[in-house]
Amino acid sequence: MPIRVTVWGEFRHEKRSEEVHKLYPHGMHEAIASFLRKNKDLKVRTATLDQPDNGLTDAVLADTDVLTWWGHLAHSDVQDLICERVVRRVQKGMGFIVLHSGHFSKPFRRLMGTSCDLKWRLGEHKEIVWITKPGHPIAAGLADHFIIPREEMYGEHFDIPEPMETVFISTFTPGGECCRSGVTYTRGAGKIFYFRPGHETYPTYYDPNVQRVITNAVRWAAPTPNSHEQTYGNRLEGWLDQPQPTNNQSRKFPKPTSRKSTTKSK
Ligand code: ZN
């Protein structure tokens, strides 16, 4: 079964700026989808902000194993309902790859629970992306660093929760700032990866190392096969005497005879 990937793009800069349009004539989302489509194990579609339901209908999300997200100008135009939909799907196991200025997107901030603010500076910086977790699947095929010749600067402090893993840190010249530029989390059953590079006026998504990281991250974030949704709440006595679940079956819990007979724990 291929991994079903939805590449979401805000797709506004490309329509407003001649410079960005020249670089990404079909949109940044199409540039990202194009390199992902070269992999036979990935089935890739795109979605954009100005489509109905911001491109993320229940049907699209139900058919998505991994969602990648690039947004910048119009985070507030993403409907709250759609943000909640994305958050719920992540909690149920959908992978979520957040790119560059997506650090300020509604669903990422909701999932992190912090401001996700950071320091930044426009202009040409040489970004050195250092691998801080050698052997991690997202860093597969990379040496101990790679260089992106021209990028915007993002610097610490980056107000994110302590990551589960820090796969990359970046340093910037000129300036000398550093930034945790590749970090992982889980929320519910879903895996999340934030990856910093990708300013719209630079050809970052044509960089083979950047493409490799995003491709690796999609495979890493794909849901675990045959995992099933967790259930929460009161676990009644007697559950251990019930038949063991097999394969993808959830354990059947005995039903309480009366609501009042169950002891509530605080
Ligand atoms: Zn940027």
101: CA distance to ligand 1 center in Å? Answer: 6
Please say whether the dihedral angle defined by the alpha carbons of residues 218, 78, 197 and 115, taken in this order, is positive or negative.
Answer: negative
120: CA distance to ligand 1 center in Å? Answer: 8
Per the structure, the complete domain to which residue 62 belongs is given by 3-116+181-221
10: CA distance to ligand 1 center in Å? Answer: 13
DSSP string of 233-247, one letter each residue? S---TTGGGSPPP-T
Total domain count for the chain? 1
126: CA distance to ligand 1 center in Å? Answer: 14
152: CA distance to ligand 1 center in Å? Answer: 6
Indicate whether 240 belongs to any domain.
no
Whether the per-residue pLDDT at 264 is higher than 50: the answer is no
Indicate whether 49 belongs to any domain.
yes
DSSP state for residue 82 in the 8-state scheme: H
Whether the per-residue pLDDT at 266 is higher than 50: the answer is no
Indicate whether 122 belongs to any domain.
no
Whether the per-residue pLDDT at 232 is higher than 50: the answer is yes
Residue positions counted in the chain: 266
Indicate whether 210 belongs to any domain.
yes
Indicate whether 241 belongs to any domain.
no
| Predicted TM-score (pTM) of this structure | 0.91
Report residue 230's pLDDT band, with 50, 70 and 90 as the boundaries: confident
167: CA distance to ligand 1 center in Å? Answer: 21
Whether the per-residue pLDDT at 150 is higher than 70: the answer is yes
62: CA distance to ligand 1 center in Å? Answer: 30
67: CA distance to ligand 1 center in Å? Answer: 20
Q: Which residue has the higher pLDDT, 187 or 244?
A: 187
Indicate whether 233 belongs to any domain.
no
In this predicted model, what pLDDT tens digit does every residue of 156-197 receive, in sequence order?
A: 999 999 999 999 999 999 999 999 999 999 999 999 999 999
Write down the pLDDT at residue 254.
53
Write down the pLDDT at residue 247.
61
Indicate whether 236 belongs to any domain.
no
| Cross-sheet strand order for the sheet of 95-99 | 42-48, 3-9, 66-70, 95-99, 190-195, 178-187, 165-173, 119-131, 145-155
**Structure tokens given for 31:** 């540039």
Report residue 248's pLDDT band, with 50, 70 and 90 as the boundaries: low
Report residue 263's pLDDT band, with 50, 70 and 90 as the boundaries: very low
What value does the mean pLDDT take over residues 225-248? 81
Residues with CB under 5 A from ligand 1 (ion): 101, 152, 199
93: CA distance to ligand 1 center in Å? Answer: 28
Whether the per-residue pLDDT at 63 is higher than 50: the answer is yes
207: CA distance to ligand 1 center in Å? Answer: 16
- Residue 33, domain CATH: 3.40.50.880
Indicate whether 207 belongs to any domain.
yes
